[in-house]
Amino acid sequence: MDNILFYFAGMPVYVCGFLTGLGLLLGTMSALTEGRRRDIGWFKMFDFILGTAVTFFLAGRISILVQDYGAGALLKPWKIITEISHGLDTRVGLWCSLAYGLFSLLRNRMFNLRFFDAITPGVLLIRSLYALGSSIFGKATTVPWAVRLGDFRLHPLSLYAAVGYYLIYVVVRQMSRNERFDGQLLIGAETMVVWLKWLLLFATEDASKSLFWLYPIGGILLAALWSFGYYNSPQLSHKHRRGIGLFVSIVTAILVVLVMVVFFYSRFA
């Protein structure tokens, strides 16, 4: 399959990379907006986001260079950019970015539920766009919307995940209009994500049987935790008008899902 979206300066730009980058951009904008609503300075939020992203890229690239050329690659830092087509070590990049992220949270005193509520919608956007750009398929099926790859007809597992994460994002955005306790968005999103992963198991090839039991147990516990926090928190004295706003949100969500579906199937036409 050709997953190249376009060429930039002679280098291929892949669908998954482009959509992941777009997700990072939209996720950053969402985090900055939600952070401002919670009195988290934009510079603190930007320090966390930009710092973890740069650390992930540099650590991943340096790891690849060391593997290719040995420790001597450290004396040629320009290869980090000039040989970017060699890729990066995502595992090393992830661990280093997690370490920097923890350091940033502790340094800026943001290691709390208010911060995680602020980044939750953005993370959901990133996960949705990443899934939309990936090429992960499920088990063989005869459903009419199956992806045809030669003689195989497979569940479009990545599309299921992309639409699922986006719909969770829509629900979380609506939830943010009536927050009653710190952690409400984080716990609510994780509850829905767990149930989404459970549903995806039914279309996954060789899914672990233990997960069919573990995900529901985790989902029930998270739902109970969310309900406990919600019903034991003081009710807000004001209520947002929903009517037109809710209708617009539903129509927008339907249109976005349709665009996602059309884009996904256009990749395999």
What is the per-residue pLDDT for 85?
Answer: 64
Q: Which two tokens stand for residue 101?
A: 């992220």
**Helices within 38-75 (DSSP H only):** 42-69
Token code pair at residue 157: 């597992």
Residue 239 has a pLDDT of 52
pLDDT given at position 69: 82
Q: Which residues of the chain have pLDDT under 50?
A: 1
Give the type of residue at 53: A
So what's the pLDDT on residue 103? 95
Structure tokens at 98: 């997690």
User: So what's the pLDDT on residue 13?
Assistant: 72
- Write phi, then psi, for 11 (nearest 5 degrees): -105, 140
Residue 104 has a pLDDT of 93
**φ, ψ at 5 (rounded to 5°):** -85, -45
Amino acid of residue 107: R
Other CB atoms within 10 Å distance of the CB of residue 22: 16
Of 113, 106, 115, 108, which Cα lies nearest the Cα of 34? Answer: 115
The pair of structure tokens assigned to 66 is 């060391």
